[in-house]
Amino acid sequence: MNTRLLRHNRNYRLLFSGSALSNLGDGVAALAFPWLATMISRDPLHISFVAFATRLPWFLLALPVGVVTDRANRQKLMVRADMARLFLSLGVVGLILSSPSLPLPDGSGLQSVFILALGILAFLLGTAEVFRDNTAQTVLPQLVESRQLEQANGQIWSIEQVMGSFIGPPLAGLLIALAVPAPFGFDAVMFALSAWCLWQIGFPARTATRVRQKFWTDLKAGLSWIFAHRLIFRLAVMLGLLNALHTMTLAIMVLFVQESLGLSAFGYGVLLTAGAAGGVIGGLVCPALASRIGGRNSLFAALAIFPLPYLAIALTASPTVVALALFVEMFAALLWNVVTVSYRQRTIPEDLLGRVNSIYRFFGWGMMPLGAVAGGVIVTMVEPGLGRDMALRIPFFCAAAGCAALLIYAAAALRFPKAQKTGA
């Protein structure tokens, strides 16, 4: 990694550090939340409900949060979001301590009550994440030069993968083995440290000034811009479908690794580090790769890769094969992100960046709760006829087919500016 940007830009270094700490907390929660759900209930619909609640805020709140991001003090917004996540993580600790025992016995009347409570906390944590993540992506162009965006994005995504997927999940497995509330207490500390880093950033004055309009007028301006920019709009819709397919498999993955692969919480965490390794390498390699082969070719390469990991997971009972598949999947995802996010940050006017980013994420992330529900529904529907093991594999077959269809769509519908010869 070229560390010059980190060494010479204090504000970027603080944002980078805050992202590292926050994503370590996210990585611990990414395993601890679904694992806790399986300790409450083994019903696929219950498990998918928690995943649904986590992602639902992106569908409900992404658009209004974009307007807030362009109006509010972005630094305070990020700090407050991390502080909210601190207290909500402590709320999960309180929920666990209020349980008579874990795991709850099958048929217990308390299962639905605790799943509902966990879903509510997941929804509130997801709400804070919408504010935090949308704002963090919006402020990066204020802290680094335009020519440094690919490098900065690549470094931030690399550290997010290291902390969120490489270190976080296996650490969560160890913490769960120590005590079920431990990972959520750890998260609270990480979010507090992240908030402190963000508070230390010296943000430059906003260069774009305008007369504040009514809320709906501001939102309409962002919608008009993205609908007029067909390439960015189509990429947003494609990202939404890709994320829905991914979330469909992710919601079921925690049951798949326990029942089909026979892994413990720590084993699951170690498995996820393979995906993180693909993300780390992708964050370091993909900016140069995108610059070399061009943005259009990079996106088509990512789309061509996406179906393969899902198909491999659907056909195997080997943790090693699943690990390799997760590695490849995350590498392709980073190639897609390096190109599309840098392109958006460079193309969208600064005064509209928060709104258009939130609209983009409304499409790109708003479909994730639908994917989570689909995963649980598919397994529940096909299990009586196919058996439990095959039922847990069907969402992966569906994801592979869906990604293949998106590759065909991209070949027919995506048109890139002729001037785009780099990863921008």
Query: Is the pLDDT higher at 93 or at 296?
Result: 93
Domain ranges for the chain: 4-202+212-413
Mean pLDDT of the chain: 87
Q: Is the pLDDT of residue 170 over 60?
A: yes
Dist. CA 278–CA 324, nearest whole Å = 9
Q: How confident is the model at residue 161 (pLDDT cuts 50, 70, 90)?
A: confident
Q: Taking 50 as the threshold, does the pLDDT of residue 209 lie above it? A: no
Better-scored residue on pLDDT, 135 or 22: 22
The tens digit of pLDDT for each residue in 243-268 reads 999 999 999 999 999 999 999 888 88
Per-residue confidence band for 371, with pLDDT thresholds at 50, 70 and 90: very high
How many C-beta atoms surround the C-beta of residue 300 within 10 A?
Answer: 16
Note the pLDDT of residue 417: 66
- In tens, the pLDDT along 27-56 reads 999 899 999 999 998 899 999 999 999 989
- Binned at pLDDT 50, 70 and 90, residue 189 comes out as very high
Fold designation for 4-202+212-413? Growth Hormone; Chain: A; (1.20.1250)
Percent of the chain topping pLDDT 90: 52
pLDDT (average), residues 310-319: 96
The size of the chain, in residues, is: 424
Gap between the Cα atoms of 424 and 408, Å rounded: 23
